[in-house]
């Protein structure tokens, strides 16, 4: 197995990419924050114990407090000679049980976990049963009313394509950006008592997936009509869309490069 180069000159440093998964329940999202524990913070501390150097970690995405990741990608440059297999075992010894690195690879110099990303897939998990499941506490939304999956799938088709999703974003103090995104697919699948909302796009706005899910739940309730989705999109008005679904049902599922 190829090993990392120990030449400390910047041009010769290896560009290492890691895939990790984590349960977001105990964290205030990925990105380092003041006075709050984040996944990036505990990951950086574990990485320092292995490399004995501070490296600039590039993450593929922000995630909010309580949101989980089945696949999260980071990259960094290092002169360490440790091979990938040993690196995975070494860093996992220093990570808590709710965070795990499961893949390591060496990339070319131009690879960037965020800017090289071509698309992302999220899954929002709903436990649709009158009785809550204690093993899913903090891992899926408990929703006890019957869900009309076919109706929601029909409504979700209206999200597909390139649109201005201002009506499906939370606007805060962050710098406002281009609000157009291209959704490749949005499907709702039922498996036993699970109803999974699965969406892929070239990118997502702040709280976009959770607002889309909240809107589709209102469609199932009959409070928003399936055919109203295009009107809500065109309105660019957040107040016309449904509520923001709780964070604990949301998983960053796949990153595409």
The answer to whether 91 and 74 are in contact (CB under 8 A) is no
First to last CA, the chain: 23
Distance between CA atoms of residues 151 and 184, nearest Å:
19
Query: Helices marked H in 186-245 — which ranges?
Result: 208-221, 229-235
Pairing status of strand 180-191 against strand 194-201 = antiparallel
Q: Parallel, antiparallel, or unpaired: how do β-strands 68-78 and 14-22 relate?
A: antiparallel
Cα–Cα distance between 67 and 21 in angstroms, integer?
11
Element (H, E) at 186: strand 180-191
* In contact, 70 and 251? CB cutoff 8 Å: yes
Is 56 part of the annotated catalytic residue set? no
Q: Which of 64, 98, 129, 202 is catalytic?
A: 64
Please tell me the total number of residues recorded for the chain in this structure.
257
- CA-to-CA distance for 188 and 124, rounded, in angstroms? 9
Q: How many other C-beta atoms can be found within 10 angstroms of the C-beta atom of residue 14?
A: 19
Catalytically active residues are: 64
């Amino acid at each position: 197995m190829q090993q990392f180069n120990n030449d400390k000159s910047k041009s010769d440093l290896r560009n290492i990419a890691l895939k990790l998964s984590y349960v977001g329940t105990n964290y205030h999202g990925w990105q380092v924050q003041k006075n709050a524990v984040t996944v990036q913070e505990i990951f950086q501390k574990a990485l320092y114990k292995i490399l004995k150097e501070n490296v600039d970690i590039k993450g593929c995405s922000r995630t909010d407090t309580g949101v989980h990741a089945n696949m999260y990608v980071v990259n960094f440059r290092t002169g360490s000679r440790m091979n990938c297999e040993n690196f995975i075992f070494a860093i996992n010894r220093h990570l808590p049980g709710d965070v795990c690195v499961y893949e390591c690879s060496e990339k070319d110099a131009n690879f960037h976990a965020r800017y090289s990303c071509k698309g992302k897939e999220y899954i929002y998990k709903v436990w649709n049963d009158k009785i809550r499941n204690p093993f899913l506490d903090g891992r899926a939304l408990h929703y006890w009313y019957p869900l009309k999956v076919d109706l929601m799938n029909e409504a979700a088709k209206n999200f597909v394509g390139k649109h201005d999703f201002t009506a499906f974003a939370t606007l805060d103090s962050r710098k406002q950006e281009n609000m157009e995104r291209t959704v490749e697919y949005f499907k709702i699948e039922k498996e036993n008592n699970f109803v999974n909302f699965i969406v892929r796009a070239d990118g997502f706005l702040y709280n976009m997936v959770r607002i889309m899910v909240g809107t589709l739940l209102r469609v199932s309730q009959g409070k928003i009509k399936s055919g109203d989705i295009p009107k809500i999109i065109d309105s660019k008005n957040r107040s016309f869309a449904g509520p923001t679904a709780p964070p604990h049902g949301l998983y960053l599922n796949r990153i595409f490069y």
